[in-house]
Amino acid sequence: MGLIVQKFGGTSVGSTEKIRNAAERVIAEREAGHDVVVVVSAMGKSTDVLVDLAKELTDDPSKREMDMLLATGEQVTISLLAMALQARGYDAISFTGWQAGMKTEHVHGNARIVDIDESRIKEALSAGKVVVVAGFQGIADDLHITTLGRGGSDTTAVALAAALKADKCDIYTDVPGVFTTDPRYVSSARKLAGISYDEMLELANLGAGVLHPRAVEFAKNYQVPLEVRSSIENESGTLIEEESSMEQNLVVRGIAFEDQITRVTVCGLSSGLTTLSTIFTTLAKQNINVDIIIQSATSTNQTSISFSVKTDDLSKTVEVLEEYKGALGYEQIETESKLAKVSIVGSGMVSNPGVAAEMFAVLAQKDIQVKMVSTSEIKVSTVVGRDDMVKAVEALHDAFDLSKVSAAAHS
Ligand code: ADP
Ligand code: ASP
Ligand code: MG
């Protein structure tokens, strides 16, 4: 007998019928003799609905009250799932994040888990109950309710699995696993039988919304065996583990993408030694997250610096740059929005030179202009026009043979 943590995302609990279906998945594990902790998200799109309600009242809602509001979504699901289990004759109890001992830092909207007091969950499990926990929420030291960032229920599940030393953490969702790219955009996307923690972490950070990046971080740090699988079909999903041996030696294992990227160029800066540090220290102090950075000398004493930000952060970025124009000493700012980031990821790249070159060649062949580039050992990211995003992903998916992946079933 083992302990299994299951997590059901929004669409998988989007109606009472789906909640019943989730309950059956829980029951199947109970019947197999396992203890079960279930983490659930808010029903369907209800978190978005709550966000819209707040926006109807104010453009700038208090972050504390947003957390208070959004935490209600998951609370609806936990009670309904516990009821569905009880109606089937299984003992179940629901816990909010704080009841489940989910302690976070005091940051609203994107809090990190700092500790889990799992005693209450353990007590309920020993009493033979299924424990249903609200994902995405926690409590800070000073008793404020916090949330973990959009998509954060995955992180609740994996963190609980790590704390409880669960045998397995199953993420049930609306796709049957992790695909070579988002199957909603690319019809030739293929399910992967397995993927390594490092590759999955890159994909998640680069926009593959199937898993919350911090969930993958937890899984890697605590070696939690993780599986992403369908809440509808009864088929095996994708195993995320240390180094994946499943696929044929693919150099590129997946493609991630995100739109809403803007490039900001600060022109006419002096090419002094401290220019770079001054500009990025200023932005960091104002909490602006900068992604790709390119510096280019334009003439002997001048340089220009381009960097990418999320389009949502553009107005704040420009505001900060203008406010500090005197100290930064630049001539002008140029911005280009409607951009997207397309990234290829695969641990095989480490030992295969020429992957970036091949990526650029494929994009050039499709007449897609690359505006920015960044690389790491296992990824190459390019910034392209938003209108070229899906075309770029499809071309790369084809060129790197991802349409040929066959997800051999694992046991
Ligand atoms: P949940 O509500 O279950 O947490 P999400 O919407 O957060 O579900 O994540 C599942 C979605 O992730 C899929 O519907 C799919 O469109 C998207 N997705 C993005 N990249 C991938 C990928 N590489 N593989 C599978 N799904 C992906
Ligand atoms: N309900 C939250 C969201 O929609 C958390 C989650 O689903 O993981 O982002
Ligand atoms: Mg999700």
Q: Give the pLDDT confidence score for residue 248 in this predicted structure.
A: 54
Vertex 262: Cα angle to 260 and 263 (nearest 5) = 155
Q: Give the pLDDT confidence score for residue 327 in this predicted structure.
A: 84
CA distances from 315 to 50, 149, 263, 310, 319 (A): 25, 22, 12, 10, 6
Rg of the chain taking only CA atoms, in angstroms? 23
Q: Give the pLDDT confidence score for residue 299 in this predicted structure.
A: 67
137-140 and 168-173 as β-strands: parallel, antiparallel, unpaired? unpaired
Nearest Cα neighbor of 240 from 168, 335, 139, 137 is 168
Evaluate whether 226 touches 182 at the Cβ level (below 8 Å): no
Quickly tell me which residue has 């199953």 as its tokens. 170
Q: Give the pLDDT confidence score for residue 411 in this predicted structure.
A: 40
Q: Is 235 annotated as a binding residue?
A: no
Minimum CA distance residue for ligand 1 atom 9: 210
Q: Tokens for 277?
A: 């540090």
Residue to mutate, 38, 136, 228, ligand 2, most ligand atoms under 8 Å from C-beta: 136
Q: Give the pLDDT confidence score for residue 358 in this predicted structure.
A: 96
Enumerate residue ranges in the chain where pLDDT < 50. 246, 409, 411
Ligand 2 centre to CA of 70 (Å) is 9
Q: Give the pLDDT confidence score for residue 348 in this predicted structure.
A: 87
Ligand 1 centre to CA of 216 (Å) is 14
The pLDDT tens digits for 252-279 are 999 999 999 999 999 998 878 888 898 9
Q: In 3-state terms, what secondary structure has residue 408?
A: coil
The pLDDT tens digits for 310-341 are 999 999 999 999 998 888 889 999 999 999 99
Domains of the chain: 3-174 (3.40.1160.10), 255-403 (3.30.2130.10)
Instruction: Ligand 1, residue 151: give the atom nearest the CA.
Output: 7
